[in-house]
A and B are shown apart, each in its own frame.
Chain A
């Protein structure tokens, strides 16, 4: 077999429908269009099994099939000879195909009709190029040099803030990806929160999505990249499937006060797990208003990029917390006569913080903020270190593995976005100070009083 499937993967993306021929044991051939062919590796593809039809009966009885595919950009046609091996009904391959099929179904007005029953795994026995003329094709991005530049930029990141910035900048500059976000897994493991984004009207920093919800949530839950080339606004796999979260009992726990960022007319989406040593840390998400914007090659490149972000995150977490000597305290300016203080409300039930009635943040980031402003009001402190916050019993980190630095970045970005008169300013490695423009009045709301 001189042709390799890896070089022909774009043929499998469904831009031009594929057809599969099978044969019954009595010698009756059968032919049908097939919704989805999934690249598995250099020797295998998987076909979507949605209905128990003639194709399925045939391949169970006579497992050799022929598949006809077309390269959507060159018009080259290929015939693949396949041997059916087995059907998978769970796991990464199944989840990736299920998410993709939902996107295809929605695109074709077949939502509710297409439901993946299984992934029919097949070994590729032969690939034949069908005689015919073709046109040359130049990809939009040459993945390898783009990746090299991007990884070099990531390697120079000194802290989380610059790591996030460099990752998003690389997507824009090297991969021409204009809409992207990075979400982190909450250590409780049931949701992700947006830590950085680029190319959206509202950044959505601090917005949350449940595990298993939408393209992002499915990617995280299954630990596998999800790539969809056609997506309509009513797609079942659209990003804010709140109904799912409600049913899962997470509705009340998800932070719905900050909307998840997103393109109003997103057509292509891809979510890639950010992992390190087999542990899920977050998700890299990209999207585009163009159909079929992301190819298999893009998926490979961005999967490597996401993997590198994961290693860098782990490296930043695991390295002993570098700390510069504490700078001198700079107490904030005294409240000017007659100026009303900023009212900071803390709701103990979910550690949510409101500044003069405007929602800021909740959860771990909320408890960090509350501890710091408490220290400021009681002891006139403005200088803090990551290390002391990590050990502070008032801050209930859900887990040792929780990324404190990510919470600090989240909090700092929310303060800037809300135009708050409290800001966090880095003063050295592992140290920062609060800049407070007004006097603060703290109001603690105990859990039981939440309803009033």
Chain B
């Protein structure tokens, strides 16, 4: 593997992003109308060159339809306590079946997120509801996975460095 094709994401950074981040996903339709949904956690592939985000089918129907149609995706991570933020973009996104362990990942993500935002003044039960999805389609049937190769990663923490490609600021 040569220098340029190596993932810019270190193992430690990947683990950090798989923790209690606020994760939101955007896609777009054929008319370039954006769609948006909250993610239920994520996982990086072992070589960290592929990123999978978890979505609720009921909450993210438009994002899933757009991803199926054209594969363009953007994912933003925000660390709630610091407002530090990173955005990943890719053009090859597709929906995949949940892998073994993904349901556990989602449940543990929600609890980590709840634990991290509770000190910021958000009631735990209220935050859990954000990820609960509708009662009619209980998990794991409601859960979907979207995987893509991040072609660009940007830091978005507010300030002068916002919008810079990650390798320029790390």
Give residues in A with beta carbon < 8 Å to B: 15-17, 19-25, 27-33, 35, 50-51, 53-54, 62, 64-68, 70, 72-75, 77, 79, 81, 108, 110, 113-114, 130-135, 291
Contacts and interface: CB of A to CB of B under 8 A. Distances in A.
Interface residues of B, number: 44
Nearest to A114: B158
A21 B132 contact: no
Considering residues A29, A30, A113, which has the most beta carbons from chain B within 10 angstroms of its beta carbon?
A29
B14 interface: no
Contacts of B83: 33, 108, 110
| Chain A to chain B: the 6 pairs with minimum beta-carbon distance, closest first | A21-B26, A31-B26, A21-B34, A75-B129, A131-B58, A21-B36
Interface in B9-52: 22, 24-28, 32-38
Interface of B: 22, 24-28, 32-38, 56, 58-59, 70, 72-76, 78, 83, 85, 87, 89, 91, 121-122, 125-127, 129-130, 132-135, 156, 158-159, 162-163
A17 B78 contact: yes
B158 A19 contact: no
Contacts of A33: 22, 24, 76, 78, 83, 85, 156
B34 to A, nearest CB: 4
Nearest to A230: B121
Considering residues A15, A16, A110, which has the most beta carbons from chain B within 10 angstroms of its beta carbon?
A16
A116 to B, nearest CB: 12
Nearest to A61: B32
Contacts of A73: 126
Contacts, number: 134
Contacts of A20: 36
A27 B122 contact: no
B72 A291 contact: no
A244 B54 CA distance: 50
Given A23-B28, A27-B32, A33-B78, A135 B126 contact: yes
A77 B163 CA distance: 27
A66 B31 CA distance: 14
B8 to A, nearest CB: 18
Given A27-B32, A31-B36, 4 more contacts: A23-B26, A62-B32, A132-B58, A133-B132
